[in-house]
Structure 1
């Protein structure tokens, strides 16, 4: 999606005068309100800029490195999060003024700034009596976006102040937090209203009916989860449990609502899994299919996309299209930013559907053979073929093979592989875990210099199918759930879940399937919280030490701990920033802070 007018220009729209005669003056440095809100092109430009407030998943530090999926190679940035050391005044990467989170657009301040823009649009559409098909569509898009921004506030802070108007200097600016239930209901209403105004299909970088219903599915799935009815267990003594969960109502009914919301998207009949119905002749075909989900500009699996172009942004912008530079191996002049943990790597099943285990001697000898095809599509491991090395290093490795092991020499010393932290190429960016991220990265691009412009998938259909399956499991409808889980596994080239699995075993298998299918897509950070398994999985990050004995091509593997991590129950939610508390004494802090 390309901007029509500059953001700097449109920011001029946010300033108005208390003078009743202000609109009688023709400004010479900006468009007046009257001109903007009676010009469809300018109104569209205003909405286009609101879209840019969406969260972008491709950045130096991804949410995956704030949970058990990956480890950020510059670990100091994420340490406060993975060690549960957050506080209202110090939050590391999640601090309101931390430069990375400013780019990510999910700080308290940036979200409310975007909500204000939404409210401004909604007020002026009514004030200037704007009408027409295009305005109706934009109206639906803005309702979607306001629901989207409140969704990010909800899942980070719980119940938040619900602001549905633009404030003036005469307004009372101190506002209390609404309850968790009120916040969920507000978001759902915005998304329902959006769905009633939006077209069924169209440009997937703009909200559609399917996008509104799919986001509603996610919100209701999250809201039905155990975290939000268990405040007495994890927030003992907290005097305002209504701010971080439900204090009444029926959880089963909430699961029914989540199931229906997901089924409503399925029943639209316009979305399909990428490669659905294909019979893979070889595992390599399944690998290529999963890779290409993320290396295309649009498919039937995409529900909501976020594009980034080089037309409206500085070509040196330290931002979005550099996912390859940020994450590819250091031996290819990448930064190796969000390296998969051993825990994520070990979660990928064997190709026959059995679990991988280092305790299995046959698997431990050849740990990277015969794994789930998604393993090869998402993980770069020692011995994996990646791409041709850059010109200054290609002589050391003409074949482009990832080297994260160490090679013993005749004198007993070890030579470090090209992609280790001890290697000869950008050792400061080398992996600690012995792995690199493969997902999203285009091997045809020289990531040291060039950018790839494939979109970030805000929502894709596989998530909706998993949402539906989870709600079914929570309602005891195991066969229905199994049907939809197996659809995703079949597309991935994996066998069905065994029919003998039921109860907790089946739920655990589903949760692992969700972890694998949606790896690095901003779900796991919230899933481990809403499922209340964070105390179990936020453990020291593991990696692999790989040693090749002298004269041997068969390495010896040792599982090692590479980053200290610990859990505190306060980390289920973020603290409200101290500056916000100081400005507004009506705000109540979250538990544990």
Structure 2
């Protein structure tokens, strides 16, 4: 099939943002856009060849208009990708993983408490305004697109959702930002806009989610009859984004009055418990659609959900909203490239990074559902049996010393060795025996924590393998259930419904129900006990999915969780084959009160003096 890439002149992209250059003028920078889908029989993120078209050509042609909408999906996972800051992303700026990055990488600034307006990345700020301007250009032109009213409705719904998505990322990152509505600024416009309050921005995004939900179908493929439309935004995606936003708004970080925030840029100005009810109702609206269930199609369920759901013929019932990459490129093997042990490297492999910390390892309980610090859990403590009989999600998330992974040339999965000390010398070319020389702690290409990440990684790409056109699941049903559980608990305490949701999650995980049918949970928890339980459950269920960084902030537990030493496990092998274990400090993490939000990049404040910096910067 003939394919093209569209370069839109003066209409889509580059800075096209609230980025004011010298002389207080808006700066425009051309950007190459993936035009996507030469015909509607292909997946809507298939790339195309180069052609030059202008605004009039785009919106007076139905196919070009579809392609323009498709292009807005291109940055959907920009805050989720593990390589957004180098090789660790937000996971490496929390208590989840340690990165192998240099001291000048973003996650290192965050981990060391050194982030400031001059060294913070401007990626989110820039991408948001690029995409918002492109959406506004579409809304300006949508009436003249030669399509039926119903098709225009589907396009508008997607665009308004996508604008809400990019703005939602902006809100959790910076707090309030300048609201511009449908305004499109032109070259020569002087732009010096103040930031709107957190509440004004929240209400605007919520209204856009509601508007998108009213325009979008529950099932896009069923609505259009075209399997190529699988992966587009739906009513469920819009409602789930709304639920997530309201959960954040109800949380202690912003559901408060702050003396250092008189303009209410990062707070709502008062504490209102009814905000939890709004969040609970919003999550319930997603549940009530009846469209989603926890993934139970391919065993092991929890592991395989991240590698399934590529087409309308094999959908992932748990994926409320996911981004399917446009092409089979290096980016589709990025997690393996960043996280695989060197003995299991991909064709793009360099030095692995993203090594799980002991704090994440210890968050996983036992197969009976009990936390490892519960005397009834059966946890043996540090030693040879410390990785046995753990919560099955542990084995789908972490590769530990002796954990099994695919190895080229072997009929069965082979152990990954992360130890130091006495390493067998023969045969040195057999990673199943001598792999610690490459993967072991303290080696140049090995782990720095004693662990490798495994979640969302395919087990069959070692040293090559096929490209992976897998979805990036950005909202999944397990999160919706956990959001509903947290909001309901905070508003009215534990309930049988909360337990039902949690049992479903734990059953899918493979945790034993037990003779009491409680999946390791304590019956009749208090509100405080349930709060602690839910926070741990989110840490385990949603690990490495760009939640932990934000969760510890919105709960305001970051000072306790992040302002401390973070650890790894040093395992030393003796010549007789026995192991000794020692917990080691991997990094001295620092968290300061100003780090609840990102600073506005200094370059943007210089361009727009009316914008105020966040507290503490």
Kept in 1: contact 2:239–2:286 (CA 8 A): yes
Match of 1:541 among 546, 566, 587: 566
- Counterparts in 2 of 1:140 and 1:73: CA distance versus 1, 3 Å: same
Match of 2:584 among 560, 567, 572: 560
Partner of 1:589: 613
Question: For 1:431-580, what aligned pairs fall within 5 Å after superposition?
Answer: 431-446=447-462, 448=464, 450-479=466-495, 480-494=497-511, 495-538=519-562, 539-553=564-578, 555-580=579-604
What RMSD over aligned residues (CA atoms) do the two structures have, in Å?
2.9
Partner of 1:62: 89
Kept in 2: contact 1:324–1:452 (CA 8 A): no
Separation in 2, partners of 1:10, 1:328:
38
Name structure 2 gaps, 5 residues minimum. 17-50, 221-228, 310-314, 425-430, 512-518
Partner of 1:53: 75
Question: For 1:219-298, what aligned pairs fall within 5 Å after superposition?
Answer: 219-230=245-256, 232=258, 237-240=260-263, 242-248=264-270, 251-275=272-296, 288-297=300-309, 298=315
Shift of 1:12: 4.8
Partner of 1:184: 202
Match of 2:137 among 106, 109, 120: 120
Separation in 2, partners of 1:358, 1:406:
31
Separation in 2, partners of 1:62, 1:3:
36
Q: Secondary structure at the match of 2:487?
A: helix
Partner of 1:281: none
- The CA deviation string for residues 341-367 of structure 1, in whole angstroms up to 9 with x for no partner, is 100000000112222259988332311
Match of 2:340 among 303, 328, 350: 328
Match of 1:79 among 108, 128, 133: 108
Q: Does 1:343 align with 2:367?
A: no
- Counterparts in 2 of 1:508 and 1:107: CA distance versus 1, 3 Å: same
Partner of 1:216: 242
- Counterparts in 2 of 1:185 and 1:425: CA distance versus 1, 3 Å: closer
Name structure 1 gaps, 5 residues minimum. 17-28, 97-105, 277-284, 411-415
Shift of 1:205: 1.8
Separation in 2, partners of 1:169, 1:536:
47
Partner of 1:44: 66
Kept in 2: contact 1:418–1:425 (CA 8 A): no
Q: Secondary structure at the match of 1:560?
A: strand
From the two aligned structures, give the one with the greater helix fraction: 1
Separation in 2, partners of 1:192, 1:42:
27
Shift of 1:374: 0.3
Task: After superposing the two structures, state which structure 1 stretch, 301-310 or 107-116, moved more.
Answer: 301-310
Separation in 2, partners of 1:145, 1:3:
28
Separation in 2, partners of 1:173, 1:127:
29
Kept in 1: contact 2:441–2:448 (CA 8 A): no
Q: Secondary structure at the match of 1:556?
A: strand
Q: What TM-score does the superposition give when structure 2 sets the normalisation length?
A: 0.81
- Counterparts in 2 of 1:371 and 1:272: CA distance versus 1, 3 Å: same
Shift of 1:582: 0.5
Separation in 1, partners of 2:521, 2:449:
30
- Counterparts in 2 of 1:63 and 1:3: CA distance versus 1, 3 Å: farther
- Counterparts in 2 of 1:387 and 1:423: CA distance versus 1, 3 Å: closer
- The CA deviation string for residues 161-194 of structure 1, in whole angstroms up to 9 with x for no partner, is 1122111246441111000000000100111000
Match of 1:198 among 169, 191, 216: 216
Aligned residues: 538
Q: Secondary structure at the match of 1:271?
A: coil
Partner of 1:133: 150
- Counterparts in 2 of 1:483 and 1:50: CA distance versus 1, 3 Å: same
Separation in 2, partners of 1:523, 1:70:
13
Match of 1:406 among 414, 420, 444: 420
